[in-house]
Structure 1
């Protein structure tokens, strides 16, 4: 069981009612945070957008594909040593093996902002304004230590994942891809690259963000072997999640 520390990191819990559903939520604004404290926040189901750290039991936004909401939040993680490829993920890995990729500490460039603008055109609801809705302008160092994973077709940037990391963990903040490459499943591919990087860097946990208990746009995150979810309004334990079968998977 995960225990709450007596720390300023864990702000007062608030509640609101929406459509008859009681929603628990917490927020904290942090200028900087160390690796051990960040790992503790990951382990307790926290995410961040810029300097705002948060967690909540229900997503009050409408799902960007179905328009349904609120949806129950499902914090996710994968113990890296428990992960194995599914057949469809192995196919995606092979299909994209000619693409070049890199993982570096740094800040977004003009190419990243251009890719972001192309990527957000696919959304009709909850469209973000800027990359800086998700990270700070000092992504490589403040408030956390940030990484940027890029995928290239030749010299063309086609996918990017913005990442937090500590010696123990890697956490995906936001991923984007070029709309001309929809057939390459680049959202899944960047997740696979992040898990691969976790293994290479000997990190114990990969946090892909959250999905929902109900079906939603984020169901692709629930199709990974070794997946766990945090019951943060119940036992506060990370529990095994039975992988959601995709249309192309038989096992």
Structure 2
């Protein structure tokens, strides 16, 4: 895959890490405009890159390699007993919709989620500019998977769509529904969506074993992690 590595890359300044407070973070940023399309981005996902808003990046920290890109091979994924139960409960009680465009009721759900669930994080306090610049993209198809309780929107999974894969960007949900493990349920729905669409992978972003907030990703198995520039299976 080295032949796909872009020739125009920038290096950010170092700044405080959002996940490990005692570390400094630095990013490789793609500057080549030809990389900003779904097929080329899929090549870059295979090289450990990700997007935030319109920008493609990859961690490149001088003294830390804690971030490992993670993906799920859709055909190999096996639901645990707990995941089967959570998915069955959600499907029995709620209904699922798909949208190719952002809907007006998304922001209030996002704002409530950040205020109640992440008031100690870097995304607090939420605002519309931050929301739009983080989640949405002008050069890539984005699918919004919605979960509804009757006529109330309770969860949204923002999902990038590439020719042969999906990338889970962010999920936000109504905090009153915590007992339904909606963060897990929405990933399971993305895996189902990928399988129904005949896609090979769902990318889950970066796994950081030292970060407690990332621990939920370890329950999705088997997974592959991009370690030392090679995808390795983690059972």
Q: TM-score range by the shorter chain?
A: 0.7 to 0.9
Deviations 1:170-194 (A, max 9, x none): 0011110101000000000000000
Question: Alignment partner for residue 99 of structure 2, among 88, 104, 110?
Answer: 104
Alpha-carbon distance, 1:57 to partner: 4.5
Q: What residue is the counterpart of 2:183 in the other structure?
A: 187
Mapping 1:38-49, distance limit 5 Å: 38-49=41-52
Conserved 8 A contact 1:119-1:179: yes
Q: How many angstroms does 1:30 deviate by? A: 7.2
Counterpart position of 1:166: 162
Quote the offset at 1:227 in angstroms: 0.6
In structure 2, runs of 5+ residues without a counterpart are none
Shift of 1:78: 0.6
Q: Which runs of 5+ in 1 are unaligned?
A: 61-69, 243-251
Confirm or deny that 1:152 pairs with 2:124: no
**Greater fraction of residues in helix:** 2
User: Post-superposition shift, 1:111?
Assistant: 1.0
Cross-structure match for 1:240:
233
Q: Residue in 1 aligned with 2:224? A: 228
Are 1:87 and 2:81 an aligned pair? yes
**Structure 1 segments of 4+ aligned residues over 3 angstroms from their partners:** 12-24, 29-32
Q: 1:30 to 1:93 in 2, by over 3 A?
A: farther
Q: Distance in 2 between matches of 1:21 and 1:115?
A: 32
Mean Cα deviation higher: 89-98 or 121-130:
121-130
Contact 2:9 2:31 in 1 (8 A): no
After TM superposition, give the deviation of residue 15 of structure 1 in Å. 7.4
Alpha-carbon deviations, 1:104-145, whole Å to 9, x = none?
2112x2210010011001111212534213233xx4xx2211
Q: Secondary structure at the match of 1:97?
A: helix
Distance 2:45 2:121 in 1: 27
> Could you list the per-position Cα deviations for residues 68-92 of structure 1 after superposition, in whole angstroms to 9, with x for gaps in the alignment?
xx88112100111110101111111
* SS, match of residue 89 in structure 1: helix
Q: Is the 8 A contact 1:71 1:212 kept in 2?
A: no
Q: Could you give the per-residue CA deviations for residues 184-243 of structure 1, whole angstroms, max 9, x where no partner exists?
A: 000000000000000100001100112203242011111111211101xx2x1110123x
Alignment: residue pair count: 222
Residue 28 of structure 1 aligns with which residue? 30
Please give the TM-score of this superposition, normalised by the length of structure 2. Answer: 0.84
What residue number does 2:208 align with? 212
Provide the aligned C-alpha RMSD in A. 2.6
Residue in 2 that maps onto 1:134: 134
Cα distance, 1:47 vs structure 2: 1.2
> Tell me, what secondary structure is at the counterpart of 1:158?
strand
Contact 2:10–2:31 under 8 Å retained in 1 = no
